[in-house]
Amino acid sequence: MRTQVAIIGAGPAGLLLGQLLTRAGIDNLILEQRTPEYVLGRIRAGVLEQGAVDLLDEAGVGARLHAEGLVHGGIEISWAGGRHRIDLNGLIGGKHVVVYGQTEVTRDLMEARAASGAPSVYEAEDARVQGIDGERPSVRYRHRGEARTLECDFVAGCDGFHGVCRQSVPASSLRTYERVYPFGWLGVLADVPPVSAELIYASHERGFALCSMRSRTRSRYYLQCTLAERVEEWPDERFWAELVRRLDPRAAADLVTGPSIEKSIAPLRSFVAEPMRCGRLFLAGDAAHIVPPTGAKGLNLAASDVRYLFDALLAHYRHGRDEGLNAYSERALRRVWKAERFSWWMTLLLHRFPDHGPFGDKIQLAELQYLFDSRAAQAVLAENYVGLPY
């Protein structure tokens, strides 16, 4: 089989790139190792920057997002019993974010792909990328026990942090940068109304907590936990009791609890692989970089990578120009590192670090107080949170 662009991974990065290419008349095939149900069952991101919304519109999948997404012009920081609002809208000229779950983005993209008739192979096993240094790369994989080869012009590695694409780049051609944090996030999804109209990021001596949402009737809550903890140790009652302890009194009183419909633990990590291109293989999204979720940037970075990669592929196929492909890695990484910086800073600002010591704790306190007292500091947070320009 042959296609123009072989896309590995049917997460948001792969599906979005596929949809844009299909609409531009560029052949592509998506290979995904899991089932569609498994992909839709992963509960992840919830906050979209305007740039991601614009790209989803361009891909023709913005209708439900505009109808059901919640526009947020601010976030709140809960600390020492009080709440401090960061007025995203007022600080950064009318900007906002849209709260719309990654699951819904993925569902919209999957439906659009099915409607377009563009090919996808789910449950593709043992994908292996070959010949990326030459003119004719290919991907070998197995499907229902049968060995197959897909020939292509380019491979888009959209297969997430644990995928094969990054691993198929020779170690000598790749430099990686990593920070592993000494904690994770325990997340709960529940069909209860959100505790507040806006997201609450809570800094507390027992650990960080986040109150987020998926709709007016579905909430997403997170607690900082140790890496040794397991979901089974957190029955719903224990989760809600701990969340109440970490919130300010007003939020604690307003919290509506109920049975969880999903519960999972995710470790926190910062990671970047450079460059994001090796010959005819282009990495995009979590395949190339990971941010801790505190800044809500992972999905948004996947979208900006796809923006750059799609524009570059379009220039190649429409006009025979390769400047975009040649500049892809540098362009994408410039934005990636700024989001890495912001996500690292938000994580440092709000979490309890077991090994920071009294000096580190005092600096963290000063950082928070500076933020609450300084409009300039709030503007820096707001500018990054709503998303830096593409």
Q: Which residues are catalytic?
A: 72, 201, 293, 297, 385
Q: Which residue number places its CB atom closest to ligand PHB? A: 46
Cβ contacts of 238 within 8 Å, gap of 6 or more: none
Is residue 379 exposed (0-12), middle (13-18) or buried (19+ Cβ within 10 Å)?
middle
Comparing CB distances to ligand RFL, the nearer of 257 and 304 is 304
Site string for ligand PHB, 153-192 (x = CB under 6 A): ----------------------------------------
Shortest distance, position 291 Cβ to ligand RFL, whole Å: 7
Shortest distance, position 296 Cβ to ligand PHB, whole Å: 4
Cβ contacts of 155 within 8 Å, gap of 6 or more: 5, 6, 7, 8, 129, 132, 137, 139, 165, 280, 281, 282
Does the footprint of ligand PHB cover residue 335 (CB under 6 A)? no
Q: How far apart are CA 281 and CA 130, in angstroms?
A: 10
Backbone φ and ψ for 120, nearest 5 degrees, come out as -135, 145
Binding ligand PHB (rule: CB under 6 A), the pick from 11, 46, 157, 184 is 46
Q: How far apart are CA 339 and CA 275, in angstroms?
A: 17
The H-or-E segment that residue 6 falls in is strand 5-8
What, of ligand RFL, ligand PHB, none, does residue 17 touch, CB below 5 to 8 Å by kind? none
What, of ligand RFL, ligand PHB, none, does residue 294 touch, CB below 5 to 8 Å by kind? ligand PHB
Comparing CB distances to ligand RFL, the nearer of 54 and 250 is 54
Residue 153, token pair as written in the block: 């012009």
Residue 180, token pair as written in the block: 């592993």
Site for ligand PHB in 249-268 (CB under 6 A): none
Amino acid type, 259: P
Comparing CB distances to ligand PHB, the nearer of 47 and 124 is 47
Which of the ranges 9-17, 76-84, 277-285, 288-296 carries the binding residues for ligand PHB, by CB under 6 A?
Answer: 288-296
How large is the greatest C-alpha to C-alpha distance in the chain, in angstroms?
63
Does a cis peptide bond (omega within 30 degrees of 0) precede residue 292? no
What, of ligand PHB, ligand RFL, none, does residue 9 touch, CB below 5 to 8 Å by kind? ligand RFL
Comparing CB distances to ligand RFL, the nearer of 33 and 257 is 33
Shortest distance, position 98 Cβ to ligand PHB, whole Å: 12
Amino acid type, 107: R
Residue 336, token pair as written in the block: 């990636």
Q: How far apart are CA 241 and CA 246, in angstroms?
A: 9
Shortest distance, position 353 Cβ to ligand PHB, whole Å: 18
Site string for ligand PHB, 201-220 (x = CB under 6 A): ---------x-x-------x
Does the footprint of ligand PHB cover residue 47 (CB under 6 A)? yes
Q: Are 267 and 351 in contact (CB under 8 A)?
A: no
Q: Are 28 and 3 in contact (CB under 8 A)?
A: yes
Where on the chain is the footprint of ligand PHB (CB under 6 A)? 45-47, 199, 210, 212, 220, 293-294, 296
